[in-house]
Structure 1
Amino acid sequence: MMRYLLSTALLIATNATASEDIADKYPASLLYDKPYEVIPGVFSAIGATAPPTYENAGHNNNLSFIVTGEGVVVINGGAAYGLAEALHEEIKAVTDQPVKLVFNENGQGHAVLGNSYWAEQGVPIVAHVDAAHEVESFGGSILEGMQRYNRDRAEGTEVQLPTETFADEYIVEMGDFRIEARHLGPAHSPGDIVIWLPKQRLVISGDMAFHERMLPIFPDTMTAEWIETWETAFEPLEATYVIPGHGHPTNMDQVRRYTHDYLVYLREQIGAHLDAGGGLAEAYYVDQTPYNGLDTFEELATKNAGRVFEQMEFE
């Protein structure tokens, strides 16, 4: 059975075409797509591989949950109160076990803005200390940005800080699962964590790992450190299953190709450009054609190149 489920997950990851042009797959819900069981007890609602829009209600990341036998653990608060409520309705359709814990994978809007719903249900919300700091410092502007595109679908959403924080790891033994929330090191954004299920060999990677859509490099994304964290802490997990922050569940080879290898490739391109005396204006257009099949390539490729140039210029 486990082998069948893995084959199904990999078929979805490799043969289904992710596209930012695909319409809402689940019109009956604010969720972009209905959650499905990746391996026994672990479910994920796969978000759109596109920027957040009114049409996808901001559900452009993966919202996952674990049915442990003694309660449910949710990974990601969601981008709005309504999205968190919609996910909860799906959980109730699967199990009568109560939601006992919510993890925020980082401090970005799609991970934390649904916290207000979960806090209203009395559920503890756990995040890394740096993610909590992001919410405390920038939560107001993050909320305003979501309200601009989500309009009436933002109703009920308020800034809600995590109720518990940790620095290195937060371990939960619940039912059939040992759930390890780990901060592996600097990566995509402040407070990135992964959820590691050692018994099941599955990692819910958050924004540590991407495929199907191009990863974004933010002003505070330090690419050299992300590569180091990948090589020294993420890859050694030797996960069999990977539920990435965006895109369908897959395996380590796939996310390595489109995350670690992309970062290495882009830094090599920018390094060669710097060695040749090139400037920022030309750096935006270094060759990234090996990755032009990824969703959001048009939105992100030139921005990514410019930000890597600005980093490497002073390394």
Structure 2
Amino acid sequence: MAKAFASSADLGEKKISFDEIGPDLYAFTAEGDPNSGVIVGDDCCMVIDAQATPVAAQEVVRRVREITDKPIKYVVLTHYHAVRVLGASGYGAEHMIMSDKARSMVVERGVEDWASEFGRMPRLFKEPDSIPGLTWPTLTFKDRMTVYLGKRRVDLMHLGRAHTAGDIVAWVPDSKVMFAGDIVEYKSACYCGDAHFTDWPTTLDNIAAMKPEALVPGRGAALTTAEMCNEGIMLTRDFLVNHYEPVARAAARQAPLNEAFDMCREVCDSKFSDFVIYEHCLPFNVARAYDEASGIDTPRIWTAERDVQMWEDLQLG
């Protein structure tokens, strides 16, 4: 029997955790589903990454209301992917913030990404009819932006291309806590279908240089010590290198994509097959690594039709 497309057969609910990882700093995690973060300031709150629908966002709002009645004034979106941004309207925030590049990617590929991600992982899109449309930021920036929640300072930074070309992180200097989006994952596969493999390790170096003492990854458990932060960064780097190198060797001799896929499996299955969404991500990761190694700098747009065709071409299952 052929394997179900991507995570389309993944229908089991995940256990949600909401943990304080620093003073008035929280991680909303769910066993490998997309994470969100919460920063509580003197007079308002900031949410990092919105979830996939306004209905899904209400679970984050409910957790926020258990700890504070301060308004959620800002929603920060670390990149453009649908599972991160389409729930933003559910917070009633005054401002939604993205990088300039992330906004341009919504313009370029937001509609296609929405359809693609819904087909891959429908469970995350709780009550999809609640989505009012694409999410558009009210504020954008190129490299760095500082937001004050009363006296509390939050630095939003683009540290380099990684999971996408427009990734940003949120840094809380008073506690040395970072919300890294999908630039860092913890014991979860990196989705690299829109990635820049050869830039991503340098971006990880830039995060490591800030010496975070706690970090919320895009997926996986919150990292609550400096040692765990380093571990998460190292695991992410190891995942990227071990995926890219065998595929790049295949691309150098113009081997077919299915051969590159098999070469990647030979290296990576023993290392990462127990990571959350490993099987889901692998075909997309190999396809993008092959393109990048072949000189295609800008990731090709994934459409629902391209997703399924690629899955079928690799004859998974």
TM-score interval, normalised by the smaller of the two chains = 0.7 to 0.9
Q: Which amino acid aligns with 1:312?
A: A
Q: Secondary structure at the match of 1:38?
A: strand
Counterpart for residue 63 of structure 1: 36
Tell me if structure 1 keeps the 8 A contact 2:75–2:93. no
Q: How many residues align?
A: 276
- So what's the TM-score if we normalise by structure 2? 0.78
Q: Does 1:235 align with 2:208?
A: yes
Counterpart for residue 55 of structure 1: none
Identity across matched positions, percent: 22
Q: Deviations over 1:248-295 (max 9, x none)?
A: 112222222321122123333334545677543321112212222212
CA distance in 1, matches of 2:288, 2:113: 21
Q: Deviations over 1:111-134 (max 9, x none)?
A: 21012223xx25211111121122
Q: Secondary structure at the match of 2:30?
A: coil
CA distance in 2, matches of 1:189, 1:45: 22
CA distance in 1, matches of 2:251, 2:104: 35
Q: Deviations over 1:7-28 (max 9, x none)?
A: xxxxxxxxxxxxx979435xxx
Q: Does 1:269 align with 2:242?
A: no
Counterpart for residue 30 of structure 2: 47
Counterpart for residue 188 of structure 1: 163
Q: Which amino acid aligns with 2:30?
A: G
Instruction: Within 5 Å, give how 1:25-44 maps onto structure 2.
Output: 25=14, 33-44=16-27
Counterpart for residue 77 of structure 2: 104
Structure 1 segments of 4 or more deviating over 6 A? none
| Residues 240-249 or 256-265, more deviating | 256-265
Instruction: Within 5 Å, give how 1:100-249 maps onto structure 2.
Output: 100-118=73-91, 121-144=92-115, 149=122, 153-159=127-133, 160-175=135-150, 177-218=152-193, 220-231=194-205, 233-249=206-222
CA distance in 2, matches of 1:102, 1:147: 22
CA shift for structure 1 position 211? 1.9
CA RMSD between the two structures: 2.6
Q: Deviations over 1:192-251 (max 9, x none)?
A: 111111221111100111122111111x312001122222x2221111211101111122
CA shift for structure 1 position 147? 6.2
CA distance in 1, matches of 2:252, 2:107: 41
Q: Deviations over 1:141-186 (max 9, x none)?
A: 4444566636771232112311111111111222453211101111
Q: 1:24 aligns with which of 13, 17, 23?
A: 13
CA distance in 2, matches of 1:192, 1:165: 12
CA distance in 1, matches of 2:112, 2:289: 25
Q: Which amino acid aligns with 1:188?
A: H
Q: 2:282 aligns with which of 301, 305, 308?
A: 301
Unaligned runs of 5+ in 1: 1-19, 26-31, 50-59
CA distance in 1, matches of 2:107, 2:85: 11
Unaligned runs of 5+ in 2: 1-8, 297-317
CA distance in 1, matches of 2:162, 2:126: 33
Q: Which amino acid aligns with 2:290?
A: F
Q: Which amino acid aligns with 1:311?
A: E
Q: Which amino acid aligns with 2:105?
A: E
Q: 1:259 to 1:137 in 2, by over 3 A?
A: same
| Residues 155-164 or 205-214, more deviating | 155-164
Q: Deviations over 1:278-314 (max 9, x none)?
A: 5433211122122222122222234423432332133
Q: 1:284 to 1:33 in 2, by over 3 A?
A: same
